[in-house]
Amino acid sequence: MPRVTKDINDCLEFIARQPWGNTADRRRDIFRGIEGVQFAPKRNAVKARRRSTGVELRRHNVAQFAIVYAYFEPDAEFPNGVVSIRGVRHQYVRNVFAGVKELPPPPYRAAACSYAHRAQ
């Protein structure tokens, strides 16, 4: 999803501007966090619910970042469930859920998001 890629790039650009910044390590932190979410999507409690769509957003903290994602329970189309990464924000952001965009309703939810993966 272009928004997630932009979020990641924005975070890494912020880190690069800092004298202590190490973008390679922070990129690794972000992608390890994404893998962690895929491995155990229910580990984090629901922190926000989008009233208009009913999508429940969760937050996974990794290093200095917050990964915002939605987990869709298993169904006939996705028997393992679906993890959909909705945003990656630096933790200095007051509300990491603000500005998180919604995807169209199923069956487009996985096809529209390049970071949607089957949960294990």
pLDDT tens digits for range 35-94: 999 999 999 999 888 777 778 899 999 998 999 999 998 888 888 888 989 889 888 777
> In terms of residue numbers, what domain contains 26?
2-118
Q: At 38, which helix (H) or strand (E)?
A: helix 23-39
Cα distance between residue 58 and residue 97, in whole Å: 9
| Residue type, position 119, single letter | A
How many domains, the chain? 1
Residue 19 vs residues 5, 13, 97, 116: alpha-carbon distances, Å: 24, 12, 28, 34
The Cβ-side half-sphere exposure at 1, using a 13 Å CA radius, reads 24
CA torsion 60→37→65→103, rounded to 10°?
-90
Higher pLDDT among residues 107 and 16, named by residue: 16
In this predicted structure, what is the pLDDT of residue 103? 55
> Residue with structure tokens 């390590």?
25
Judge whether 118 and 78 are in contact, CB under 8 Å: yes
- Global pTM reads 0.78
Over range 15-27, report the average pLDDT: 90
* Cβ partners under 8 Å of residue 32, min gap 6: 62
Please check the confidence at residue 2 and state whether its pLDDT lies above 80.
Answer: no
| Residue type, position 63, single letter | A
**Alpha carbon 13 to chain centroid distance?**
18
